[in-house]
Amino acid sequence: MQGSLAMDEKGNPLGALAQNLATSEKIYSTYDSNIDTDLTHLEELIQRTKYTTRKL
């Protein structure tokens, strides 16, 4: 399970922006229904960061 949090200027958490749950068959996500299971953690994190930055 992975998650990204929104934080205020003092570093206090405001809420979840995106969450992923990986199984052996698929990655379930709150932001993308078709995440490539061959992506490395950092490649997926880059995609998630781009998504959350566009939505804020």
CA 40 to chain centre: 13
Quickly list H helices, 1-56: 41-55
Predicted pLDDT of residue 13: 93
> Residues 30, 19: contact at Cβ < 8 Å?
yes
Question: Domain extents for the chain?
Answer: 2-55
Predicted pLDDT of residue 56: 61
Predicted pLDDT of residue 9: 95
What is the C-alpha to C-alpha distance for residues 34 and 12, in angstroms, rounded to an integer? 31
Q: Give the model confidence (pLDDT) of 5-48 as tens digits.
A: 888 999 999 998 889 998 888 889 998 888 888 889 899 889 88
